[in-house]
């Protein structure tokens, strides 16, 4: 008897939300390798997580800025970035 197939699903939590806990740093406290995804109204603070590759954003915010794509597309991006590093 074959084992039942298992599927994992990522929750879809809506637009403009990323699976990341932002540090909410003010601009002056951001290092060059920290994510520049803005949070807040008026007085902006920024995500502050480690950026992904050479872009301005961490991986969750980078994918948010580019659209989520399929899980296999995200995996391909992840693998190609690892190989380039």
Give the binding site for Zn ion (CB under 5 A).
35, 37, 47, 49, 58, 61
Question: What minimum distance in Å lies between the beta carbon of 60 and Zn ion?
Answer: 6
Closer residue to Zn ion, CB minimum distance, 4 or 32:
32
Minimum CB–partner distance for residue 57 and Zn ion (Å) = 5
Q: Do 35 and 58 touch, CB atoms closer than 8 A? A: yes
Q: How many helices (H) and strands (E) does the chain have?
A: 2, 2
Our CB check for Zn ion shows the closer of 17 and 71 to be 17
Q: Residues near 77 by Cβ (< 8 Å), separated by ≥ 6?
A: 63, 69
Decide whether 28 or 59 has the Cβ nearer to Zn ion. 59
Q: Give the H/E segment covering residue 84.
A: helix 71-84
Task: Report in angstroms how near the CB of residue 65 gets to Zn ion at its nearest.
Answer: 10
């Amino acid at each position: 008897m074959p084992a039942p197939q298992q599927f994992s699903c990522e929750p879809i939590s809506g637009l403009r939300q990323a699976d990341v806990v932002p540090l909410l740093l003010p601009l002056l406290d951001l290092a060059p390798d920290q994510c520049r995804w803005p949070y807040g109204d008026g007085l902006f603070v920024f995500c502050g997580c480690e950026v992904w590759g050479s872009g301005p954003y961490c991986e969750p915010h980078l994918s948010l800025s580019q659209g989520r794509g399929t899980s296999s597309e995200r995996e391909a991006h992840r693998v190609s970035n690892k190989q380039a590093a």
